[in-house]
Amino acid sequence: MIGSPWEAALYGALAGAAAGWLSRRALKRFLGASDQVFYLAFGAGMLARFLLLLLAIWLLRHEKYIIITSFAFLMILVQMLFEAFPLKHGTKTNP
């Protein structure tokens, strides 16, 4: 499936970027909603990203340990980069 740790890192980074971008887009969409709706979207996004990571590791279970580690590490790191910057353009009631 994946030939080298570098290829696994690339695929992990791409999967992390896709998951992080989708999560950030969903949060930005619900930024002006009530706190309950916003935190529901936040929690659902966390759960979805965790399940995506578990699915990817399960699909890679027959690969070498270094490939699984490279994939998972870069996927988590790139997802965290999308969370490093605050969301902007919230509602006018936010201080």
31 DSSP 8-state letter: T
User: What are the boundaries of each domain within the chain?
Assistant: 13-83
Predicted confidence (pLDDT) per residue in 57-80, tens digit: 898 888 888 888 999 999 999 998
Q: Model pTM greater than 0.85?
A: no
Instruction: Give the pLDDT band (50/70/90) at residue 95.
Output: very low
| 43 phi, psi to nearest 5 deg | -65, -40
Q: Is residue 48 a contact partner of residue 70, using CB atoms and an 8 Å limit?
A: no
| Percent of the chain's residues with pLDDT above 90 | 34
Contact between residue 74 and residue 9 where contact means Cβ atoms under 8 Å apart: yes
Cα radius of gyration rounded to whole Å, the chain: 16
